Structure 1
Amino acid sequence: MRHIKDIPNNRYKIGLYQWNNKYIIKVESGLYEQTYKIEQYEVSGPEEIETVVDDPFIEAITEKFDSMHHDFQLSLKRNEILF
């Protein structure tokens, strides 16, 4: 996987990668990460990918991270790993 660039964001570490004829947007937040893939032929280039990372997309990412954290915490408690 080839790192193309980091996409600036105040809340998350967002990296843009290229692998296997796809662009990959990787969003990291502490213990969790989300990845989004798009075929290279679907966009004109990396610059167009940056436009995808707009405020509504970041809001949706935040909701998913919150849900991931909630689900993980419930599982840890349910399995008596966390008390």
Structure 2
Amino acid sequence: MRVVADIPHPQIKITLLAWNGKYLIKLEKGDFEQTYKISEMDVMGDAGAKELLDEDFIEAALNRFSDMRDAFVSSIRRNS
């Protein structure tokens, strides 16, 4: 697995990786992570993969992190 880029963002850690004919977009916030796999054939190189990380995508991912945290906290409360 090759790290293509660490993409700066003030709220989350974004890493673009290449592995086995795919790009992996790894987003991390605290204890949670989201990974998206894209075939190298579906984008135009490293730059094409980076273009997917537009404002709307990042906003949706941040909302998903909130949902993940809420679901996890709810599970802990139910099962403690």
> TM-score with structure 1 length normalisation?
0.92
> Which structure 2 residue ranges, 5 or more long, are not aligned?
none
> Structure 2: how far apart are the matches of 1:38 and 1:29?
21
Matches within 5 A, 1:2-81: 2-80=2-80
1:65 corresponds to which letter in structure 2? F
> Structure 1: how far apart are the matches of 2:47 and 2:11?
21
1:35 corresponds to which letter in structure 2? T
Runs ≥4 residues deviating over 6 A: none
1:22 corresponds to which letter in structure 2? K
* RMSD of aligned residue pairs (Cα, Å): 0.8
Q: Deviations over 1:6-30 (max 9, x none)?
A: 1121111100001111000000001
> TM-score with structure 2 length normalisation?
0.95
Q: How many residues align?
A: 80
> Which structure 1 residue ranges, 5 or more long, are not aligned?
none
Q: Deviations over 1:36-58 (max 9, x none)?
A: 11001111101111111111111
Q: Decide which structure has the larger Cα Rg and report it.
A: 1
